[in-house]
Every structure is written in C-alpha cells, then in structure tokens.
Amino acid sequence: MGRAPIAIVGGAGAVGRALTGQLEELALAPLRIGMRQQNSAAQGRGEIVLFDIDDDKSLARFCYGAAVVVNCAGPASRILDKIAKAALETGAAYVDPGGDDGLLRMIGERGEGRAVIGAGMMPGLTGLLPRWLAGRAFDRVRRMTAYVATRDFFTPAAATDFLASLGGAYGSAMAAWRNGAPAAAALKPLIGIELPFFPGRVNAFPYMTREAERLAAALGLAEASWYMMFEGGQMWKALREAAPAERIHESRAAEALARAARMDLFGQKPRQAFVVEMEGEANGGPAARTLLARSDSTYELSAAIAAQAVRALLCGKIGPGARFAADILDPSIALAYARNIGALTALDILESGAKTAGEIEQDWV
C-alpha cells in the first residue's frame, strides 16, 4: 500500500502553489491538490482533484485517506473551522497557514486529532524569529521592539483576512506589552519617521498581535512593542479610510486595499522586512541585539512555515492537540529551511558595537 497523501485545499492560490512546489521538492508523501477548477500551474505536481469546499460531502471525500490536510483556501475569516472539521473527522492531521484563537478553540473542542494553525508568515514566522533571536543570543530578554514591513500584492482572500485581523480577533491596535501584561492604548502611530533599515520616511502602525502577546509571556518580557510598517502611502491611506465595520464585512474595503497594495508595489520589487530589537542579559552582562530578516515573497514564506509544520506532523514530532506553529515548531529548523530554499533572502543578528546600521544599510534596503 502506498503512502497516504498530503492533501492541499486551495492548491491554485498563491500560497497553495508555493506550498505545492516546496512539498514536491521535499518528497514527504504524494500530493493531492484540490481546487475549484482546473489550473495549468498545478499540472504534473500531484493528483488534481476538483471539488467545492462549500459542499460538505465533496470536502469529506477530498480529505478522506490523507495523512495531512493543509488549508490554503481563503478567506480564513469566512471558512473558519469548516476544513479543519472535515480533516479531523476523516482522521487526517490539519495544518493552516492562518487561524486565530477562535479557530484554536473550535479545533480543541473536537477532542482527538493533531492540528497546527498560524503556520504562515504572520502569524507563524513572526513568532519564530524573536524566539530564534532570544534562544541564540540571550540568557534572558527583558525588552523587545519589532517592525514588520510588507510590500507585496494582495490576493482578494489575503486582503479580506488582513482587514478582518484589524477587527480584534488577531490582536489590538495601539496596544503594547508593559510591566509583563497587555496594555491598551499604550502607543500611537508614527507618521513619516525615519528608521534604520527602512528606506526613506515610513509610517508605523502599533498593533500587538495575540501571537506577540503569547511570545512576550513565554519569554517573560517586561516590555514589548510591535509595529506594522508601510513604506508606501496608498496602503496607509486605504487602511485609514476603511471604517471598522467595512474592514470586516465589506468586499469593497478588501478591493480597495488590494488596489492600494498594487499601487505601492508599482515599479518596485516585492519586499518583506523584519527588524526585531531585543535587550536583556547574555554571558553575565547586559546585551542588546538586532535581528534582520528579509524576503522577496510573502507567499513563499507562508508556504515554508506550513511545509515545516507538515514535515513535523509526518515525522511524529507533534502529538495530539491543536497548537500554534510558533509555539511548537523548532525555530532553528524552520528558519534554516526558509533560508536554504530562498524564502528568506537575509537572516542576520547584529551585536552592539559589532556593526553599525550604516555599515549594512546599503545592502539591506
């Protein structure tokens, strides 16, 4: 009998195509690629199965017999636990590049089964990078400031989920971590500022994700601040103009955001930049380190973390229960994989006094 396949829901989408390519290279198991209609980009990469995720019987048939089901369909804010339910009820493990605390609770209520959610770029990679820095360069971390900048196109589903995340399910705007606990309205947007490693003037939006809160608690931080960076003006404008209700419920807000992202990207290459500054103790004394990570593709990064979650499940490294990827995956293994395949194009740690920002700024930007 052959190996049970890895079933990918949404195999024709941006993350699905990237994940299919990576899993094909890893050769962990045969691939079963699910999509609504035939797509030439998936030809030759596995068994193509056309099905409708809104048809429960069709979805169950797609999941049946799979070792792992990966949900790359969207928007996640509308699918909720539909695919997770089908996967777990047929005995498959489940991986989701998206997902929030609500999805974790829904899966947990189903009892037995193995699931890894938040296995994408954000959440996922954004929780693994600080853990890697803390484990590699510190005995203890006390403070952290993180900046995440994304200049890339948005699929309609990604735009919808991004806007939905601002509604509070994934985190809290203007919040921070102070005195070892979440602190509401602790920060304000930074408009037109200059920061090391970011070209020109940028806008920084404070947003404390639930992932960042879990990270701060796990590391025992006294203080943490988290910013989403916007290097172009159109994305910033679209977000400020979208009313809170529209961010969650109206497709026109997602369309405006996707259009703004294309305008900011016009004439430039996609770019994802992560800057994590930490202060604490190392080798018996005070220490300060800065992590720099960069990528050319949001979707390859998300696929890389999802691929590592699939591999960990198939290797038996993850037991029963539902967990977030950043809480369960080995940061060193996941980041080494992303670096080796080129999903991360830079991954560096700067020590205080070892290099100045100016010495690597030209290469970085």
- Which pLDDT tens digit goes with each residue over 352-361? 644 444 444 4
For residue 16, the model assigns a pLDDT of 95
Does any domain span residue 29?
Answer: yes
Query: What is the Cα–Cα distance from 222 to 331, expressed in whole angstroms?
Result: 22
208 phi/psi in degrees, rounded to 5: -90, 105
Q: Do 29 and 170 fall within a single domain?
A: no
Res 232: pLDDT: 63
Domain presence at residue 171: yes
What SS3 class is residue 339? helix
CATH number of the domain encompassing residue 306:
3.40.50.720
53 domain-assigned: yes
Global pTM?
A: 0.88
If asked whether residues 233 and 184 sit together in one domain, one would say yes
Q: Mark whether 172 and 236 lie in a shared domain.
A: yes
Q: How far apart are CA 339 and CA 254, in angstroms?
A: 31
Within a domain: 268: yes
Domain membership flag for residue 163 = yes
Query: How would you class 238 by CB atoms within 10 Å of its CB: exposed for 0-12, middle for 13-18, buried for 19 or more?
Result: buried
Question: Which pair of structure tokens corresponds to residue 77?
Answer: 């804010």
Contact, 92 vs 69, CB < 8 A? yes
Number of domains in the chain: 2
306 plus 270 within the same structural domain: no
144 and 84 co-located in one domain: no
Same domain flag for 193 and 311: no
Q: Please, where are the H alpha helices in 174-323? A: 210-219, 233-241, 244-249, 251-265, 298-314
**Judgement on whether residues 232 and 360 belong to the same structural domain of the protein:** yes
Residue 316 CB contacts under 8 Å (≥ 6 apart), including other chains? none
Q: Indicate whether 88 and 107 sit together in one domain.
A: yes
Question: Which residues in 311-338 are b (16+ Cβ under 10 Å) and which e?
Answer: bbbbeeebeeebbbbbbbbebeebbebb
Domain that holds residue 30: 6-117+300-338
81 CB neighbour count, 10 Å cutoff: 23
| Pair 40, 152 in one domain | no
Q: Are residues 155 and 237 in the same domain?
A: yes
Per-residue tens of pLDDT for the chain, all 365 residues: 468 999 999 999 999 999 999 999 999 999 999 998 766 555 556 899 999 888 999 999 999 999 999 999 988 778 889 999 999 999 999 999 998 888 898 888 766 799 999 999 999 999 999 999 999 999 999 999 999 988 766 677 767 767 666 666 678 889 999 999 999 999 998 888 888 888 778 888 899 999 999 999 999 999 999 998 876 677 666 666 654 444 444 577 777 777 776 776 666 776 789 999 999 999 999 999 999 999 999 899 999 999 999 999 999 999 999 999 999 999 999 999 999 999 999 999 998 644 444 444 444 44
CATH code of the domain containing 203: 3.30.360.10
Asked whether residue 218 falls in the same domain as residue 74, the answer is: no
If asked whether residues 289 and 307 sit together in one domain, one would say no
Does residue 47 lie in a domain region? yes
Query: Is 1 domain-assigned?
Result: no
In a domain, 216, yes or no: yes
